[in-house]
Structure 1
Amino acid sequence: MRPLKLKFKNLRSYRALREVDFTGRDLVAVIGDTGAGKSSLLEAVCFALYGRCTWDSRSAQGLIADGGDGTLAVELTFRVRDETWRVKRTTSVNNSPPSTHHLESLDDGTTVFDRAGEVNAKITSLVGLDLDTFLKAVLLPQGKFQELLHTKRSDRTAVLKSILGLDRVDEVRDQSAAAVNRLAPQLERLKGRRSALPADIDHDIADAERRLHDAQQERARLEEVEADIAGLRDTEEEALRQASDLRTAARRIDKVPEHVVERFSELVNLDAELGDQLTLAQKQVDTAREAEDAVELRFAAADEAGTGPADTTRALTTFDAILTQLPSITEERRRLADEGTAIGDEEVALKKKEGDLTGSSANTLALEGALESSEADRESAHRKLEAGAALLTDVREADLKAIEAAKLVEQEESACTAQLTLLKAAENGEEEAKQALGAADTTLENARRAEAAVHASAGVEPGGPCPVCDRTLPDDFHSPTSTGITEAQAARKAAQTRCTKASKALIGAVAAHGKAEGSLRSARNKAQEVVAAQEEAFRLFEAEFGHRGIDADDDMILTVLAEAVRAAEGECEIRKEIAKAARENVTRSETELSEGRKALAQRRRAFSRAENALEKRWTALVQAHDELSSHFRVQGELTEVVAQERRELARLRDEELGEMLTRLAEVRADLREARSEHDKVSARKRTEVERPLARIRQELVLLAEMTGDIATLLALPVAPDHPAEATIAEESMWAKDVLATVETLSRASRSKVDRVVARADAAREESASVLAAAGLADESELEDQLLEATVRKRDADRDLGAARRNKPLCDELDRRIAQTDPVLAGLRDLCGLLTDSKFIHEVVRRRQLALLGIATHKLQSMTNGRFGFHENFLIIDGLTMQSRDVKTLSGGETFLASLALALALVELTAHGGARVEALFLDEGFGSLDSDTLASALDTLTAHADGGRLVAVISHMRAVAVNFDNVLSVKASFNGSTADWLTDDERDALATEHLAGLLS
């Protein structure tokens, strides 16, 4: 994994969005003052890849910056396996909004992961390291750099197994055991399924095929016999069916009606007699109908002339109504003429009142206009008074705010001065802590060197060989005693703790001072705004009142405006009373005029309704008169005298029409009597001739139809059909022909029945011979044997189908069992081997030796061959040729040993399959002298030349001058910044460092 570009926001001391581009950079120095935010870059990388911080594997909430929007956002673009990926993560205070996780491939843009578990699993797979291993092999933060060197032996084994990928042996063992647990039940199920199937499936198929062949042959023989028997049975059944059909058809035509010929003769004679009686009755009906038609012609002529019964009755009714209504219509016309004259007089009086009202209304409107003008003046005076009072309130409030703002500025200035004092004290405290730490480092280094001498001289006696140069020791030689290294380490740890606290105190003091300065600036800006608002309020007040004096009370300042209001209100009240009296007078006049108009309108409506009603009455009378026939209508003016004459004419015509109606009733009575006699004769003919004839005809038609079936069976002619439109005599001849045909068919059917029965008997005898030849007693035995053969065929066919269906499954199960058995046996052997602790320990030992071999090579290159690693993580000192505990190393020697282990881990991890192309080192270079520092940097340069990114984090400028790529981290009030130094800036940094060394 090689980082390419890192973006982050709201990360600890970084509040704004920052970006660090590592593209094209191999060896990188990250420099800055203590607390500037250098180590936070490592936290950004750790959070981007694993969603956690270096010191807390459960949460990253501690990385969120104070004073930001509460959401930490990090984006890292990196390259692994020649693929480019980008991961984005966010987390917020109290998880609001919820955290987000996003990983995508920038090569195809389609591989996307959006869930925390998916992103973490994919990155772990890409990098090849989990978080703990990553913090020991790639990203080494403060306090973690020397962890592997000082770890206990028992803990170091577990660490090495994780870092060097040896925990994969456990994974392989677990996976093998899981595979055994998964495959063993499956193999047992396969064997169980195979045992439930036939052992020799090919034998079962051959046996089923043989049984099926035998059953098919036997069934074919029996089916042939069955077919012969079926043919003979069909012949017998067909003969018996023909005999049955002939007998049934013969029974149908045996039912011949009795005395058909005699009954036909009687009906012929009765039909002739009733025909003569009907002819006489019809002549009487025709005579009565002619008399009725003559009377009806007279009525029709009267209707056409307009003097018929209906016209005459209408004339009598109409003239009665005219004579009744004419007197009242004349009286109503005279009354309506008088009412029209009175309405005209009333309209003239109302018009005069309207003229008077118009003048009064104009005068009232003029008075109301004057009132509105007075009210406007009053409102204007009130608004001026309110505006003046508001200006007075505003200027007083602005004056008070200006005083309060000035007090606030004084308070903030005092607070800022106090914070500045605290900041200077914190800076002095940090400087003192750093000096104390330097002194403690020097003391610890001296103690470690002395401890090395004590360790080297252990067991050496006076006069013996020197363990360093092999010279003989003097007789007065005494081994050095303990040098107090434990006390020196405790003092150094206390100094380091003090330095850390002092740095944190300084960061807090810087932040507090910056906050105080921000509050002071805000207070000053607010004071300027308040003073500007105060000046504007006084300007407006002076424009209205002509002075700036606000010390007097409100009533005194607003006296002129209040007097103007009182004067306007008095004028308004006087005009309101005058306008009110004028408006009331106009209102009364309008009310009186409105009521008069309403009364006149009602009178006009009543007059109009009366005129319309009279006109409707007269129109109805005239319309009724005009609808009368011309024989009765009046040709001139319609008066009572003329109406009386026409009514008398209509009465006389009504009497004449009454006589004609009496004659018509007499003629119609004669017609009804003649028709009754004709109907009686017709009814007798239907009852005594037509109905009996229809019954006989129906019986013979049915008998003739029944001859169709038997005639078809005998191939003889059927009885003749009933002749259409035949007389009774013709129907008598037809009946004789039908009876003769029936007799012929009956004789022929009896003869044919005898022949068919003989053929059925012959077929039955032949069927018995066929059964005997086949060795069967009867048809029941044939059916039993045929059923048995069918069952045998079905069973064989079923067994054959089941065997053929099972064969692929049997073959597949045999194949799977043959494949799984050796695989399962191999997995069980592998589990047994990997479970052996000796094997695991041997693998760990060999990998540890490989790690220490690489680390020794690098440590010797950095110490000119003096130091190397023993197989138990002890240090081999080339000067004394003795092994030493790592605790006896000086600070610089400890750093170099840890660096050698870290570089060896990177190389060995890469050889083990992990994709590690980066190394981040945080601090530790301050304990090296210039020569050792140069050796360490040379080793890191060689490591970076292999294509890896090596980032060294330090507050020492002596480290930065040896790097071509320098990332400068600075703290400010607005948050930390991280920027690459230009060549000029880097040269200036080197010049400044050199000048410091020369001074």
Structure 2
Amino acid sequence: MRLHRLEVAAFGPYARREVVDFDALGADGLFLLHGDTGAGKTTLLDAVAFALYGTVPGARGQVKRLRCDLAEPDTDTEVALELTVQGHRMRIVRSPEYRRPKRRGDGYTTQQARASLTWLSCPPHGHAADGVTRIDEVGRTVQRLLGMSAEQFFQVVLLPQGEFARFLRAETTEREQLLERLFGTQRFADVERWFRDLRTTRGRELERRRAATREWVARLAQVAETEAPEEPGLEWVTEIRQRASAALAAARQEERAASEARREAEATLQQRRSAADRVRRVRAAHHRLAELWEQADQRASWKSEQAAARRAHPVAELAAELDRVTERLEHARWEEAAAERACSTLGFEQPQAEVAVLRSSAAALREQAGQLAGLVEESGRQVEDRDRLARLEEEAAYAAEQAAAIGEKLEGFPERMQQLSAEYELASQAEAGLEAIRAREQEAAAALADADRLPELQRAVERALDAERVAVDDHQAARATLLDLRERRLAGMAAELAAGLSEGAPCPVCGSDEHPAPAEASVDSVGDAEERAAAEREEQAGQRRDLAVNARHRAENDLARLRERLSGRTREELAKNLTEIGAELRSLSQRAASKARLEVSIRTAQEEADDLTADRTKALREVSEARAQQRALVERIEERAQRLEAARGDFTDVAERREHLVAVSEAAEKLAETRSVRAAAEQRLDEQRGTMLDAARRAGFATVEDALSAARPQARIAELERSLAEAERAEAAARGVLEEPELRGVSPEDEVDVESAQQAVESARSRAESAFAAVRACSGRAHDLDSLAEHFRCALAELEPAEREYAELDALTDVVNGRGQNARRMSLRSYVLAARLEEVAVAATARLRSMSQGRFSFVHSDAAGSRGTRGGLGIDVLDDYSGTVRPAKTLSGGESFLASLALALGLADVVAAQTGGALLDTLFVDEGFGTLDSETLDVVMDVLDELRAGGRVVGLVSHVEELRQRIPMRLRVRKSRTGSTVRLEGGMPVAC
């Protein structure tokens, strides 16, 4: 990450727009922000943090009051930052939420927060070229590119020395809180909580198993009707089952004995009941014969009465017919009198006339009534037409109401059609956007595949680096060998030349013909062949080195291209992005799928509107037709009313007059009919009396009265016959019983004792039932004990491993949470933080030893605290002058500054490496230099010079005057009553 340009307006103490050009300010790699106390040096760092994350570090971020009180009302509070991250240059503009005076009227209004991110170069893969305008999206994009959260950025890039001085002197809990924020160890806390939750869950399960085991024990004791021991086991269960089996065997033996006794008693009872039944039958037969002997006279009387009744039966039937004829005559006379009264009531003038006259009068009256039948029908139609007239009025009113109601429905259809059209348009847009979102899904899937390939490419780079190092080592070894051989050959070159000298030949070096002392070859001399062979080996090693370097470049390029495509996004972010795109795709698909339904709904709604319009037209037409029919019907009713008025006479209407005529004719006809019936009945009565007297004399009776007195009803005759037959059958049956073989020799005086046998049977049955109940109880108890024992055995078998597993989990949970067998009282999270702190101590020690000229080193301690408190986060200082380890609290002010600066730089290195964030090309160190002497300040400056190696820019925030002399590039911050300003010193002035 490299900063290029910062603009602040109405922010903190800066009332106007101020610009900081970090490219010019950091051209030398080291610059100074200086100014008076309270001028706003640290505010510039707050502005950088606010632009990136929307918040400022420390307590200043809790106040949330960032607007300058001296700014003009029309000046917007704004921070703009241009920076480059992972090769992508961007411009971020943020404005906080603040209150400003209303532009119209009095009072204040709230200006909402806003943010935007604009790409000044090619955007990363997967990002829109037009940038981001949502606050949350800007924050996610920055955090994804930088690879660290706001708190980590504040500790890694903005090094606040005061906070690290407090960190040095802090207790374990305070250190733990800071390290947790920086290193993100929440997952280890989740592991600790997972162990605790699992132990709680398993503890509940174990308690449920124990409770189930106790329940089986209680049920066993209840069924066995005994007390359970304190620690019941399988031996106790075996004992109660044996007792139950013994009780069952004894009960079954008693049941067999009781069943045998019951069968013997029942056999004795059956024999005595048979003997008693024979005596009872003999006694009953003798008793029945005695009764029949006493009824002999009565049976003779029944036979005489039965014979006389049979002779008188025909006379009785004729007498009954005479009674019926007499009854018909009386009824005919009554009907004749009633008919005469009816005729008189209706006004008939000849009620005493003969039958022929009555029939003639009735015919004449029927003819008059027939002449009025047509008018009666017209009278009925008159009523129907009047009812029709009322219905037409109702139909017209109803049709008018229907037309009005349909009109109201039609009024809401335009709005409904507009809504359906809008939804159809959204569905069409969704359908059109499906291809784009599918393309985005494919891109996201490809990016996720790239993220899956990232570890393999990283391993390929590491392998290429290892191969390159081996090739470089081989090449350097071959080159060293070649150089050594060449040096040895040069050293022996004189001997090589001397070997070619001959007497009198000039020397190729000095030209002399004399060779007084030619050089001789040494043991280490090297020839031309050996040198050429070494040169070939060096050349081959160089070629292998070039190949390894090229392979490494290709691997790094592949990795760089892949990282460029990923743009710092992690696999989790890519997977989440793919999931979000998938959800968006499903949403659009659902909306696009509703297009056909909406099209049908629009067509249905239009058809419904057309139908309603047609219905309203039909209703209006029905109103018009009903009104026309009403007018024609009124004319017809008035014309018919005149004719009916003339025909009704003195009656209410024509129907009433016709009904009167018909009633009179019917009454006359009825009177003629009843007179004819009465004359025929009188004649039939005289004939029946003569016939009955002849029948009585033929039956042997002197008079009809004698025959009727001897007559009996059929039921009485049947009763006499049945009584006589029953007496004969009873006598035959009684004599048949006495003649049966098994009753011979049985006297009606014999006595049989059945009661004692019955009592014996009841006693035997009670004993057998008790024995059977005892067997069932013992059998059920034995069966229940067997079943419960099996359940108890299974519960014990499941309980023992569960208890062992829970004991192991309980001990492991205590160890993970810093208790139990954990001697250092360190939880898993504390252990991880201790490992991170040890890495920080190692990284910071290198800085501290350089700045303290080898005197001080950090020492990490994982010992437990006092009174058994947890440890692992202790950090002390080793003083090489005294050779002792002492607490950091004993350091002086300058020494504390060195230690805190070294700790901050070491922590920055570890956090940057641990988070995998972007390369941090810009660092800020805030205050603390005033506690150093000149010599120590020189050492610290040397360390800061090392930090800017490789193109890194380091900014110091201090008001120490000596730093102004040491650092050429400076940003001067001045404060005034109208607001602070900034100016570049040692370079071109910054536009203000």
The TM tier, using the shorter chain, reads 0.3 to 0.5
TM-score (normalizing by structure 1): 0.36
- The structure that has the greater radius of gyration is 1
